[in-house]
Every structure is written in structure tokens, then in C-alpha cells.
Amino acid sequence: MESLTQLANLVRSRTRPPAALAEDQRVLDLFKNRAELKKAHGELQEEVYRLKDRIKQQEGATARVQEMLAALEARLGLIETAYPALVFYQLRSFWQCGREILEQFVAELVNQQEDRERRAFLAEHNRRQFARRQGIEGGLRTAETQHLDEQERVAELLAARAKLTRFWHYFKRREVDRRLHAAREAAAAAGEALEEARAAAERLSAELAPQFAGLSLEARRAINLAVIAYAEVLCLRLIDTPLVALAREATSRREVADDYGDREECEALISAIATARLALQAKSNVAQDVKGRSERLKVIARYREATDTTPAAESVAIGEGDVLAGLPLGGRRAARMPNVLAEDTWDLFRVLLR
């Protein structure tokens, strides 16, 4: 019964006029367009909800910033709270100064090492290319000479064959024909070898110089050890002050702390921060101190993975007997020296190369 129904529908569809079929197609297209419009409308609604959510998040962040600014204005409006706020932001700026010094140091080392390795890479590439070019050009010259020799041999045999016109030269002609056939095959093979040699020379000329892949693992490790050494040097210059610890604490907070004492104590801290900033920025003995401590780190640094560029923090800890500019660090001075990598001093992990 179902088969008969399908057959009847098929017959009716075949017997319907073209205008009715066109109307059916138009209705079908309208349904398709309606489905596509509903899908696009749903996607647009989702995008609107997503944008509204982002606006709410941004409004919340803006409100929090406005609250912080209002609190800061209130603090700066009173002498008792203004000076601690000044110290707080001076300490944060002091920490940022140390990080900028390390970032500049890394940029200089990367530029120098990249230039050195790029020159070495291009020199090695040129050396290999020169050896390849010598081999390909030598093969091309050999192929040209052999092709010329084979062509001359064919020409000689053709000339000899042309002279053998008498009937008693029959057997000589057969011998010359045999040799001529072999010579022509050898000339064809020499021609193919010549074409291959020319194609190899063209491919070599069309090759582009490879791109420099970047610093090697050894170079990145060496730069990171030098940066860790520089961070230690900066801390060692301030070993007799609590400013590194205070700056770390201030950086970890979002709101101003009132732990810096009264006005006189705050002014003393501000003066000490200015002096310490000059000590950080001083370039005297920097190269010597960083080199010495880098050599020490190369000996003791250990890496968890073969591809790691940053050593394990526990392997580069400061110990008794450390020296800065000829002055040993012993007792309390060594105890006050932080493990710059473990404590992320000067935001070291943002500076180190990956």
C-alpha cells in the first residue's frame, strides 16, 4: 500500500504544471532563507549577551579603579597617610627599576649573541653552499666535456662510414654501423647527464638562504645565568638595607600599606630609596661581578629537563663564601641574601628567556 502511495505521488509530481513546480521551489527557498535568518539571529543574540557581559566586567573593573583612586586621594589629603603612600609607590617604582635594568641587560645580550650566531650560521651555510657549488660545477664541466667527446666520436664515425661506399666495404660498414650505434647511445646518455647537471646547477642557484632559527639552547642558558648573576649583584649591592624585601612586599600588594612609620621615618626611607636606585644604576664593576658570578652559576646550575633554559631554583642558592668585588659574604650577610630565582626577585621570570 505504501509503495502504491509513493508511486501515486511520483505520478502527480510529474504531471504537475511547471508553474506549480516553480511555486514549490520558491516556498522551499523561503523556508531555507528563514532557517538561515533564524540561525544568524541566534548568533547575533549570543554575541550581544557576550558583549554585555564584557561591559559589566569592564564596569566592575572601572569601579574598582575609581575606588582605589578615591582611597589614594583621601590618603594624599592627610599628612599622616600621605607619606606612607609615597613610600609605597616609591618602593614599587624601585622594584620596577631593578626589573628594567635586567630587561635592558637581556636585550643587549640577546642582540650581541643573535648577531654572533647569525654570522656563524650564515658563514657555515656559505661554506656548505661553496662546497656544493664546487661539486656541482665540477660535475657540470665533466658532463660537458664527455658530451662533447661523444659527439665528436659520432661525427668521426659518420665521416668514416661515408667513405665506405664500395661493395667490398660491406663488412667494414657493418662494423662501423655497430660502433656508430653504440656511440650514439653513449652520446644520448652523455646528453642526459649534461641536462641533469645543468638542472642541478639551476636548482642550486634558485635556492634561498635558510632562515636563522634563533638563539641556541646553550646561548639562552648562558644569557639566563648572566641575568641571574646580575640580579644577585643588584641584591648584593643592597645587602645592608631592607629595601629589597620592602619592595617585594609592596609589589605583592594592591593597596597602600601603613607599615613605614611616621613622617620622619618615611622621609628617611624615601632618601634611602633614592640612594639605592643610584646604586642599582651604577655600572662600576658590573661586568666583572656578573662574569664572576656567571662562572660560579655555570658550575652549580642544574636543569630538570634537557630542553630547559632556566636552572632549578635550589641549585643556584647563595651560600657561604660568596664574593662581590673582592668582599666575602659570611654569617648574617649571606643569610640576608635571597635566592633571586626562587623568590622571583625583580620579576626575574618575566625577564628570563624561554
Which residue do the cell numbers 660560579 mark?
A: 296
Which residue type, as a one-letter code, is found at position 329? L
User: What kind and span of H or E run contains 210?
Assistant: none
Which residue type, as a one-letter code, is found at position 310? T
Indicate whether 116 pLDDT > 70: yes
Distance CA 226, CA 223 (A): 5
**Cell of residue 33, nine digits:** 532563507
* Predicted local distance difference test score (pLDDT) of residue 218: 94
Which residue type, as a one-letter code, is found at position 322? D
Distance CA 160, CA 155 (A): 9
* Predicted local distance difference test score (pLDDT) of residue 216: 93
Indicate whether 260 pLDDT > 50: yes
* Predicted local distance difference test score (pLDDT) of residue 325: 44
Query: What pLDDT, in 10s, does the model give residues 47-67?
Result: 888 888 888 888 888 877 777
Residue 232 near residue 318 (C-beta atoms within 8 A)? yes
Per cent of the chain over pLDDT 90 is: 28
Q: List CB contacts of 332: < 8 A, sequence separation 6 or more.
A: none
**Cell of residue 69, nine digits:** 583612586
3-class state of residue 322 by DSSP: strand
Residue 128 near residue 200 (C-beta atoms within 8 A)? no
Confidence bin at 43 (pLDDT 50/70/90): confident
Q: List CB contacts of 312: < 8 A, sequence separation 6 or more.
A: 301, 302, 303, 304
Residue 243 near residue 272 (C-beta atoms within 8 A)? yes
Pick the closest to residue 150 from 172, 121, 179 (CA basis).
179
Q: Mean pLDDT across the chain, nearest whole number?
A: 83
Query: What pLDDT, in 10s, does the model give residues 132-183?
Result: 888 888 888 988 889 898 888 888 888 888 888 887 777 888 888 888 888 8
* Predicted local distance difference test score (pLDDT) of residue 16: 58
Residue 235 near residue 352 (C-beta atoms within 8 A)? no
* Predicted local distance difference test score (pLDDT) of residue 36: 85
The overall pTM is greater than 0.85: no
Residues, the chain? 354
Q: How many CB atoms lie within 10 A of CB 94?
A: 22
Distance CA 225, CA 298 (A): 7
Q: List CB contacts of 322: < 8 A, sequence separation 6 or more.
A: 236, 296, 328, 329, 334, 337
